[in-house]
């Protein structure tokens, strides 16, 4: 559905696209931070021997998958100017269903039921937000508690273990040396980047987030649009939970606790604005990688893991400060 202006020759167009991609790449302070991180950890005596090894980098990528898959969907919802706090609970529900039902239904149908639970709950969040006009922060705050309740009702507070080794074999499998789970994350990132940058749905996402009334007047079916994104995010949260349970060979009722905060942190680090209308998948992937590289590098340096939380929190605020400086407008009232 690309609508490149016909007057631009092909080569120049692709050149321009490349330059635009590069520009959007550098416009995100997160990538500069990421480069600094990589430089730091590949030079520090404690981590330089292992940090840049293929095994370690693939490990970072694998660890990025679980927050990353959700963060992709959260980017869409946040570009719409909405938010979803219930993703961690949706992870746990999907994982519990996927592991808990597999002896009755078989591996794949059970996983599909788990996935469907996420899509359905995401859809429900979207419907409630859109139909009642209650802020999505409140709707999903309620859902965060309620869905966790559903998890406890279903599991009776038990962890489930997968009896079928094929399930955890999948979680540990590799394709051409790369962890399958990480490949799923990368593939989804590429698809969702493409959808956001070159389809009507992607353009509408920015329009809806930028000015909902204007988008509605311009003929965008805003309700349906937001619904699709909430359902997409629910599905991705469920997928992340299922993938995590294949890696653990089990599900726990508290899985995904405070994941919503990590996911939102990653997306904001990647430059997506909470107010809507602005953001990118490229930035989000950068945000996710920044968090995981920091965790990984600090671990290699044998620094207490608690520092990661302090640094990430400070980074979050720093990104906001940088962002405000670069976009401060003169007509604002300073109090």
Partner 1 sequence: MHTSPTPTTHWRERIADLLRDRGILVAFALMMIILGLTVDRFATSENILAVIRQVSILGTIALGVTFVVIGGNLDLSVGSMLSLATVLVVDLHDKIGPGPAIAVTLVVTLFAGAVNGTLVGFLRLNSLIVTLGMLSVLQGATLLYSGGKNVDIANQSDTWFSIFGRGRLISAGGIDINVPVVLFLGLAVLMGILLHRTSFGRKVFAVGGNRVASTFAGLRASRIVFSTYLLSAFSVFVGAVILGSRVMGSQNTVGQTWELQVLAGIILGGTSLLGGSGSIFKTVIGILIFGFINNALLLLGFPFYAQWLVTWIVIILVVWLDVASKRGKLWAA
- Given the rule CB under 8 A, which residues bind partner 1? 85, 128, 130-135, 137-139, 141-150, 152-153, 223, 257-258, 261, 264-265, 268, 274-275, 304, 306-317, 320-321, 324, 333-335
How many CA atoms within 13 Å lie on the side-chain side of 222?
Answer: 22
Nearest distance from residue 214's CB to partner 1, in Å? 16
Q: What residues have CB less than 8 Å from 24, skipping those under 6 apart?
A: 280, 282, 283
- In the complex, the smallest distance separating the C-beta of residue 142 from partner 1, rounded to whole angstroms, is 4
- In terms of CB distance, is 57 or 316 closer to partner 1? 316
Nearer to partner 1, 178 or 274 (CB): 274
Minimum CB–partner distance for residue 306 and partner 1 (Å): 4
Measured from the CB atom, the residue of 8 and 261 that comes closer to partner 1 is 261
Minimum CB distance to partner 1 smaller for 61 or for 268: 268
Q: Nearer Cβ to partner 1, position 11 or 258? A: 258
Give the shortest CB-330-to-partner 1 separation in angstroms.
14
Residue ranges in the chain assigned as alpha helix (H) = 10-27, 29-43, 48-51, 54-79, 87-100, 102-105, 107-132, 136-155, 165-172, 180-198, 200-210, 212-217, 222-248, 259-269, 281-300, 306-327
Cα 148-96-266 angle, rounded to 5 deg: 65
Alpha-carbon distances of 156 from 84, 194, 278, rounded to whole Å: 25, 41, 42
Minimum CB separation of residue 112 from partner 1 in Å reads: 25
């Amino acid at each position: 559905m690309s609508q490149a202006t016909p007057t631009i020759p092909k080569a120049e167009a692709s050149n321009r696209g490349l330059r635009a991609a590069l520009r959007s790449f550098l416009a995100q302070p997160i990538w500069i931070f990421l480069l600094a991180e990589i430089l730091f950890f590949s030079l520090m005596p404690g981590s330089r021997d292992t940090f840049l090894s293929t095994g370690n980098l693939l490990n970072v990528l694998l660890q990025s998958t679980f927050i990353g898959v959700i963060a992709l969907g959260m980017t869409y919802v946040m570009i719409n100017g909405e938010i979803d706090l219930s993703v961690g609970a949706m992870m746990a529900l999907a994982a519990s269903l996927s592991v808990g039902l597999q002896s009755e239904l078989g591996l794949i149908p059970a996983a599909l039921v788990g996935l469907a639970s996420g899509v359905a709950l995401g859809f429900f969040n979207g419907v409630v937000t859109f139909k009642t006009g209650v802020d999505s922060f409140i709707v999903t705050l309620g859902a965060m508690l309620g869905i966790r309740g559903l998890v406890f009702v279903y599991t009776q507070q038990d962890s489930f273990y997968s009896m079928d080794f094929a399930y955890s074999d999948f979680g540990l499998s590799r394709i051409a040396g790369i962890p399958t789970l990480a490949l799923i994350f990368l593939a989804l990132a590429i698809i969702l980047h493409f959808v956001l940058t070159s389809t009507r749905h992607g353009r509408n996402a920015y329009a809806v987030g930028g000015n909902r009334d204007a988008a509605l007047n311009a003929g965008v079916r805003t309700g349906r649009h937001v619904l699709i994104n909430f359902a997409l995010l629910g599905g991705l949260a469920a997928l992340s939970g299922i993938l995590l349970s294949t890696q653990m060979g089990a599900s726990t009722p508290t899985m995904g606790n405070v994941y919503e905060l990590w996911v939102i942190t990653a997306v904001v680090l990647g430059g997506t604005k909470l107010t809507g209308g602005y953001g990118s998948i490229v930035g989000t992937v950068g945000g996710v990688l920044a968090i995981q590289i920091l965790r990984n590098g600090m671990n290699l340096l044998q620094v207490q893991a608690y520092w990661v939380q302090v640094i990430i929190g400070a980074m979050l605020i720093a990104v906001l400060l940088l962002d405000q400086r670069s976009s401060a407008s003169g007509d604002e009232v300073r109090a």
